A and B are shown apart, each in its own frame.
Chain A
C-alpha cells in the first residue's frame, strides 16, 4: 500500500463501483477518480497518527443488543405499499437462478 493518494486509480474506482452496484460511464471515470483521490488524499492525514498513540486507544464500545424476541413487524404492510412489482401478495423479481454472472 502506497502512502500517497495515487492508490485511487481509474481501475480501483471501476472495481469499487462494481462492488457498490453502481454504473459509472467511462466518460465520467476520470472526474470520479480525481474527486475520490483528493478526498482519500485528505483522509490520509490519519496515517500521521503514530502506532504508539493507536496502541493507547481504548477499545470500541460494544454495540448494545436487544433480546431476540419475536414480535409483529410491519414488513407485509411495507411491501404491500412499496414493492415496485407484486403478484399474489409477493414481490416479483427477475429470475435469480442462472441469471447475472
Chain B
C-alpha cells in the first residue's frame, strides 16, 4: 500500500489517523454520523488497493460483509445500542464464521464449511461487528512467522521483506496496514502477542478460561485462547470486553465476572507494583530490545509505578515445556483429521491408506513435525520422561508466577527477542524458530493474561513490543498498566512507511 501522511491517533492529541480505530468507528456509526455500509465499503477498498502487497487475507468476503453492514445499519435505525457498530474486523482462519470457510491455512481443511458461528464471532456479530475476511496464518496456528501457511506468505507492512510474526500474522498485518481497525487471532504460545509486536500493534491474550473456544479449531486445548489485535489499548479492551465471559458451549470458560477493562483504562499505575522479569535478561538478547526494556522501566517509573525486578526461575525452561505439552495436545487434537468426516481424502484403497495418505498429503512440514514430536512424547516408554516431566515442570512455572504475583501486580518483559526477521531466514532451522516465542510462552503455560504494546522502533525502523502480564483474571490491571505504558511510549499511530 502507498505511504500515507504520518499521523497520530486522535486519542494521542495529534491529527487523526486516516483510518479511525475500533472505538471511534463504533461511536461514529452508533451516533449515525457514518453508516456501517460506508465504513465497510472503505475497508474493502483499502484491502483491494493494498493487500496485493501485504497478502494478509486468505479470502475477502465483500458481499457478506456488505450484507452484514446493512443489517447493522437497520439495527442502529431501530435504536439498538451496539458497542462495535459497523466495525470491520479481520478474523483468523481457524475461527468459525457461519457461511464462510475455515481452513486453518491447511490443505487438509480445504473447502471446510463450519456448521455455524464460533461463540466469539456470534458475540461480535451481536455487538455490531462486520467480518471483512479470513486472514492468513501458520497452518493450524503452528509457527511464528505465517510462513507455514499452505496458501502464501504474508508480508510485514513495516518491511515487506520481513515476516509479520505468527501464527496470527494475517490479522496483525491487516490491522497494521490499516485495512481494518481490529482483528482477532488465537494465541497458544504467543500467536497474538508476537505478531502484534512484529507489526507494531496491540495484541492481547486473555486469561485461560476468559474467552470461549467454541468454534476455534483446537491446536493445544490447555493453552489456546482467542484474543484481539488493534492499534490501541482502548480498542483492544473494547474488542475483548465484547467476547469475554462464560459460555455453556466451552466447559473451560470460567465463571468469573469479566469486569470492565474499559473503565479501568484511565486508572493509571500510581503505586502499582510493576516488576521486570529477571529471566528476560537472556544472553544474546538483541541490544535494541535490551535498551527498549530499559526505556520501559523509565516509563513506568515516570508514571508513578513502584518498579522492581522479580525472578520466575522456571521461565528459562518454558520453551522446552511448551514444545512437549503443545505438541502432545496437537498430536491428539489433529488425530481427527483423517479424511473421513471432512477435508481432503487422498485414497480409498483401504482404511489405513485412507488415513495415512490423507494426512500425509494434507499436513505441511511443521504440522507433521509437531505431530511426530507429540506422538513421541506420549508414546509408551517415553511418556513419563517427556510428557509427565513437562507437565510437572509446568506446575513449577505456575507456582513461580503465583509467588511473583505476591510481590508484584504486573510483570514486564519484552514481547519478542528481536525485531521481525527476514522471510525465509529461519525456515530451515525449526528450533531457532521456536525460540522466537521465548518471552510469550511462559504466560501461556501459566494461563495468565498478557498484552503486547508497541514500544518503539529500532534504528532500522522495525517495531518492538513490551509485554505486560497479570495474575489470572487480572485483565483490568493489565489494561490499566498497558494504557499508562502506551501513553508513555508514544509509539507513532501512523501508517507504516511503504518499503
Contact = CB atoms under 8 A, between A and B. Distances in A.
Given A45-B320, A94-B349, A21 B355 contact: yes
Interface string B327-344: 000010001001111111
A96 interface: yes
Chain B contact residues: helix, strand, loop or mixed: helix
A21 B372 CA distance: 10
A8 B376 contact: yes
B375 A20 contact: yes
A82 B341 contact: yes
A13 B379 CA distance: 12
A39 B430 contact: yes
A45 B363 contact: no
B42 interface: no
B17 interface: no
Interface string B114-142: 11100000000000000000000000000
A93 B340 contact: yes
Contact of A20 (B116, B357, B371, B396): B371
A88 interface: no
Contacts of B434: 39
A78 B373 contact: no
Given A46-B389, A65-B251, A78 B342 contact: yes
Contact of B341 (A13, A24, A91, A100): A91
Interface residues of A, number: 56
B331 A20 contact: yes
Contacts of A27: none
Given A39-B434, A45-B320, A22 B115 contact: no
A100 B352 contact: yes
A64 interface: yes
A89 interface: no
A74 interface: yes
B323 A39 contact: yes
A56 B314 CA distance: 14
Contacts of A16: 372, 375-376, 379
Contact of B369 (A36, A45, A58, A74): A36
B280 interface: no
Contacts of B335: 21
B431 A38 contact: yes
Contacts of B112: 82
A51 B359 CA distance: 39
Given A46-B389, A57-B392, A66 B248 contact: yes
A46 B115 CA distance: 42
Contacts of B116: 74, 77
Given A46-B389, A74-B116, A78-B115, A57 B395 contact: yes
A53 B431 contact: no
A2 B341 CA distance: 41
A94 B351 contact: yes
Contact of B323 (A17, A43, A78, A82): A43
Interface string A34-62: 01101110111111010001101111100
Given A23-B360, A59-B395, A17 B390 contact: no
Given A32-B369, A94-B349, A100-B352, 6 more contacts: A12-B376, A36-B372, A46-B317, A57-B395, A84-B339, A93-B351
7 contacts: A39-B373, A39-B430, A39-B431, A43-B390, A47-B385, A64-B252, A75-B115
Interface of B: 111-116, 248, 251-252, 314, 317, 319-321, 323-324, 331, 335, 338-345, 348-352, 354-357, 359-360, 363, 368-369, 371-373, 375-376, 379, 381-382, 385-386, 389-393, 395-396, 398-399, 430-431, 434
Interface of A: 1, 7-8, 12-13, 15-17, 19-24, 32, 35-36, 38-40, 42-47, 49, 53-54, 56-60, 63-66, 74-75, 77-79, 81-85, 91, 93-96, 99-101
